[in-house]
Amino acid sequence: MVAKAPLNMRNGLKWRDGRPRWEPSPANRAIGISGFDIKGLDGQWIADRGQAISIADLRHEWAATYRTALLDNARGAEARLTLAEALVKLPQPQTDDARASRRAITDILEKSQALIECRPEVTLRRTGGRSVADLIDAYFVAQQSPDNHRRLAPATIELYRKQSRRLRDRFGRHSVHEIDRPMVHQWYSEVLKATSVATAHSTLAVTAAIFRWGTRHAGWNKESPATHLGLEKPKGRTVSIPFATEKAFVRFCDANSFEDVADAVTLGCWTAASQVDMVKATIGTLSQSTWRYRRQKTGVEAITTMMPAVQARIQRRRADVINDGAEYASTEAAPFLCYADKRTGTRVKQPHTSRSIGDRFQEARRAALAAVKNGTWPELAELSRYQLRDTRDTCVTRLFMAGVSMEKIPPWTGHSQKEAERILRDHYIELLEEGAHETARILLDYADAQAIELATDGG
């Protein structure tokens, strides 16, 4: 009896006398993917042709993605990112058919996992010179790897992706080994002219992170070309919120259900606390005559006196706790900054995070500017200039303008002693110059009053 030739179907599926089998292509065999008998969980050949085709298609797609992911280029990096996301989102099979399909790709899943985790038994297939675009893609693939214990937070990764676009646009097609320090410095100068010092520095910071990763992984480059560039020093942000604007905005917030924003603005303007420190504060920690805390970013202790404006906000918040609907160990243990989450539809307030209080400030500011546009709250017309982080600057500015010595400001604000002089002289340099001009004006007014002629020629 002559055996019947197998019926060749799509995506590697062959059917011989009721025995379906998936056969790999030469390219798949070359990377170690073998054939697979398509059987059910009971070990019997799957007779349903539709199910057999579905299993063959599934194995074909996973094999193709894995094969592409092995390429040491931009396409491979993109495929590795796809694999990493798919492995994380892959659901557990709930039916026998689903379990049979999962079994059909188990070996490819294991190979994919080993590739994403950069295990030594997996080697990328060289396809020629490595480009900067390949390096960028490989960097973000590595950030998604479960084996990467130092990977960035999702929000930071998104920010890095945006900043890396300039690097890709400028050098994406260049070989990694072509890029040297003079080229990067010239590019930095171009970005500086086209944008701002802050933007140029952010772009170079991300560039340095990507190239630094390349020097440590898979030999992308021997050393980073984005170091020792002699970057221009950024000018400090010298924004101070006027008293009148602060008071008007607090009144607006209280009148329009943004009491939490009013709390944060007041606390920042009068204690110099940053957002990340504000959200850690409880009613109890703020109810003493002084608030002692260690700054989250530096670990340096800050000791601020609770001024009357802050004390009033604390009393408002204490009275509000009984309406929160949340259970606290005590009133003193309740967080100072809370908000009602509109998405949950409940009146129980949630403790703020640094990000959520920032978002709420933006929301309140938009509402206030809309009111200005409609002809009300004209005193808030300049509010678009200010951010929540400016409240810390505002407090430091007020301390300086009030005549507090530089030695006494750091213990209040939580600056480290080492950094205090640099921060207060560089970050607030314009304010220091204004102080000098004011001193000169007072001296000249005094001279005029006393009819004294000041020598201006050095004589």
Q: What is the pLDDT of residues 51-106, one digit of tens each?
A: 989 999 999 999 999 988 887 766 777 788 788 888 888 888 888 888 888 999 99
Query: Is 41 part of any domain?
Result: yes
What is the tens place of the pLDDT at every residue in 369-415?
Answer: 999 999 999 999 999 989 998 898 888 878 877 777 778 888 888 87
Residues 371 and 292 in one domain: yes
How much is the average pLDDT of 412-433?
Answer: 66
Radius of gyration of the chain (CA): 32
Residues 280 and 387 in one domain: yes
To the question of pTM greater than 0.75 for the whole model, the response is: no
Please check the confidence at residue 457 and state whether its pLDDT lies above 50: no
- Least reliable range by pLDDT among 119-133, 181-195, 245-259, 301-315: 119-133
Higher pLDDT, 68 or 441: 68
Neighbours of 157 (CB within 10 A): 14
Q: CA nearest 261: which of 409, 427, 383?
A: 383
pLDDT score at 321: 86
Distance CA 443, CA 338 (A): 49
Residues 206 and 254 in one domain: no
CATH number for 342: 1.10.443.10
The count of domains in the chain is 4
231: tokens are 């970057």
Find all residues with CB under 8 Å of 79, minimum gap 6, and list them: 65, 66, 68, 69, 71
Residues 271 and 361 in one domain: yes
Residues 104 and 174 in one domain: no
361: tokens are 């400030």
The residue assigned the tokens 């985790």 is 117
Please give the span between the terminal C-alpha atoms of the chain, in angstroms, as a whole number: 125
Distance CA 149, CA 239 (A): 38
425: tokens are 């002289």
Residues 370 and 449 in one domain: no
How much is the average pLDDT of 257-268?
Answer: 95
Q: CA nearest 252: which of 366, 345, 350, 164?
A: 366
Residues 303 and 339 in one domain: yes
Please check the confidence at residue 310 and state whether its pLDDT lies above 50: yes
Query: Is 339 part of any domain?
Result: yes
Helix ranges (H only) for 322-428 are 354-373, 390-401, 409-413, 417-422
Higher pLDDT, 112 or 2: 112
Query: Is 401 part of any domain?
Result: yes
CATH number for 200: 1.10.150
* Phi/psi of residue 279, nearest 5 degrees: -70, -15
pLDDT score at 233: 61
Residues 61 and 185 in one domain: no
Domain residues for the domain of 450 are 428-459
Residues 166 and 253 in one domain: no
Residues 259 and 396 in one domain: yes
Residues 253 and 395 in one domain: yes
Residues 287 and 344 in one domain: yes
Higher pLDDT, 125 or 334: 334
pLDDT score at 422: 65
Query: Is 26 part of any domain?
Result: yes
DSSP class per residue in 80-96: HHHHHHHHHHPPPP-SH
Query: Is 276 part of any domain?
Result: yes
